[in-house]
Amino acid sequence: MSDVVPLTGEPLALDLVNTRPCLADGPADLLATPDDLAAWLALQADRLAGSGVQDAHDPPAGAWERLTAGDVAAVHAVREHVAAAIDHVRRGERPPAAALQGLNAAQRAAPATSELTWDGTCITAARRRTGPLGDRLA
């Protein structure tokens, strides 16, 4: 990651778009590499808890150590679709069909389900996503 610290604290989709800021010397990509993505995910860890992105069997942040260029590409694609949708909606325009289709495809690639478990006294439900890590992240 560059010396620029990503903005966080906005809705997660906006935080994702904000990982591509325009700096004095031009545009930057704060998610250019698997290590950059892992650092950003660590900043967002509390917000991702319970989302089903990490496999329930992974140690905390264990999945982030296995990020690949393919995972980065999947997140970049979602970032592009989110940016296009937000850009149009903020101007009161209909989001591009391609952006909505891309976001829907990302959600279908790793749908969230509720997984029920018994802890000895009660049943609990936890969000879980299946599929490759890049699809779950996207």
Q: Containing domain of residue 53, as a range?
A: 12-137
Amino acid identity, position 136: R
The dihedral built from the CA positions of residue 104, 107, 108 and 113, taken in this order, carries a sign that is: negative
Residue type, 8: T
Residue 32 resides in a domain: yes
Between residues 13 and 99, which one has the greater pLDDT?
A: 99
- What is the tens place of the pLDDT at every residue in 9-56? 788 889 999 999 988 899 999 999 999 998 898 888 888 776 767 654
Q: Greater confidence, 58 or 84? A: 84
Per-residue model confidence as pLDDT tens digits over 43-74:
888 887 767 676 544 444 556 678 899 999 99
Query: How much is the pTM?
Result: 0.81
* Assigned domain for 4 exists: no
Q: Could you give the number of structural domains in the chain? A: 1
